[in-house]
Amino acid sequence: MYDAPTYKEAQQRKKAFVDKWQELEPDAIHAFQWGLQRTFTFYQLDESWHRWVRTTNALERFFREFRAKADEIGAFPNEHSCLTLFFLVVQLDHAKHDRPAVANKSRH
């Protein structure tokens, strides 16, 4: 559903999925559909953004990086030191995404 090029097609895929599984797994389909419509809000954005915002992978990766750095430090002496680390991880993340694409070069 989420890789459908349009909102309309995503809705059609959702309907096909629900129609296929509703009779066999009604409780699972009920749970699946609860709040599902909110996950389609990324279709309101320009299509060029879809691949970045339709999942939480980037956000999860960011917080995994923050937790790893925080674990290295241990206990923070105050809130300001925690926020400073958070800021630095944000800066590092931006630096990763802002660097120009480099053509893959063979090392042969």
Distance CA 40, CA 71 (A): 35
Distance CA 94, CA 82 (A): 19
Give the total number of structural domains in the chain. 2
Q: Which domain holds residue 13?
A: 7-53
Q: What local confidence, expressed as pLDDT, does residue 79 receive?
A: 92
Query: Which residues, 6 or more positions from 93, have their beta carbon under 8 angstroms from its beta carbon?
Result: 62, 65
**Alpha carbon 94 to chain centroid distance?**
16
Q: How does the average pLDDT of the chain come out, rounded? A: 83
2: nearest Cα among 46, 29, 60, 41 = 41
* pLDDT band of 56, cuts 50, 70, 90: confident
Q: What local confidence, expressed as pLDDT, does residue 90 receive?
A: 87
Distance CA 73, CA 35 (A): 38
Q: Is the domain of 83 the same as that of 62?
A: yes
Q: Is the domain of 31 the same as that of 48?
A: yes
Q: What local confidence, expressed as pLDDT, does residue 21 receive?
A: 94
Is residue 1 situated within a structural domain? Answer: no
Q: Is the domain of 48 the same as that of 65?
A: no
Q: Is the domain of 40 the same as that of 12?
A: yes
- pLDDT, tens digit, 9 for 90 and up, residues 2-54: 888 889 999 999 999 999 999 999 999 999 888 788 888 888 888 887 777 77
Is residue 103 situated within a structural domain? Answer: no
Distance CA 16, CA 20 (A): 6
Q: Is the domain of 47 the same as that of 61?
A: no
Q: Is the domain of 40 the same as that of 67?
A: no
- 3-state SS assignment for residue 62: helix
